[in-house]
Amino acid sequence: MDILGINIIAVLLAMFGFMVVGFLWYGPLFGKRWMELNGFTPETMGDVNMPVMMAKGLTNSLIAAIGISTVLGWSGAVGLLASLKIAFLVWLFFSATTALLAHIYEKQNLELTIIHFGNQLVAYLLAGAIISFF
C-alpha cells in the first residue's frame, strides 16, 4: 500500500524499529550511563509525562522513516546493501552532523554524543534494511 510512492507498511515497521532500537539503547544497553551523563536519577525520571514523551518519539521516528523511505526511492536503491549504504549516508550527512552540534556548541559530553550517534546509526540502518524489503 503506497501513498505518494511511500510504502506505508514499510514506514510503519521502520518507525517501530526506531522505537525498539531506542528502547534497547537507552534501556538495557546504555541506559545507566546515559542517565549518569545527563544527571538523571530514577526520581527525576519519575516526573516525566511518559505518554507525551512516547508520542513525540513516535512522531519523530515516523518522520525519520518517511524521510529514509523517500531518499531510498529517489536514489533508486535496490536491495539490502544499496539501502544500507544510502541509510548510512543519510545518517552521516544529516543525523550525525545535527547531533554533533550539541557537542560543539552546547558542550555536551563527547561520550553522550557518541551514545546518541550509535543509537541513530543503528536505527537508520535498521530502517533502511526494513524498507529495502518492500
Condensed to tens digits (0 to 9), the pLDDT of residues 1-45 reads: 888 889 999 999 999 999 999 999 999 999 999 999 999 998 888
Q: How many domains does the chain have?
A: 1
Rounded to whole angstroms, how far apart are CA atoms 44 and 35?
10
* Per-residue confidence (pLDDT) for residue 46, from 0 to 100: 84
Beta bridge partners of 99: none
CA distance 130 to 84: 10
**Entry pTM:** 0.93
Greatest pairwise CA separation for the chain in angstroms: 48
pLDDT in tens, 111-125: 999 999 999 999 999
What is the rounded CA–CA span in Å between residue 63 and residue 59? 6
Domain coverage including residue 55: 2-132
Closest CA to 68 of 87, 48, 45, 94: 87
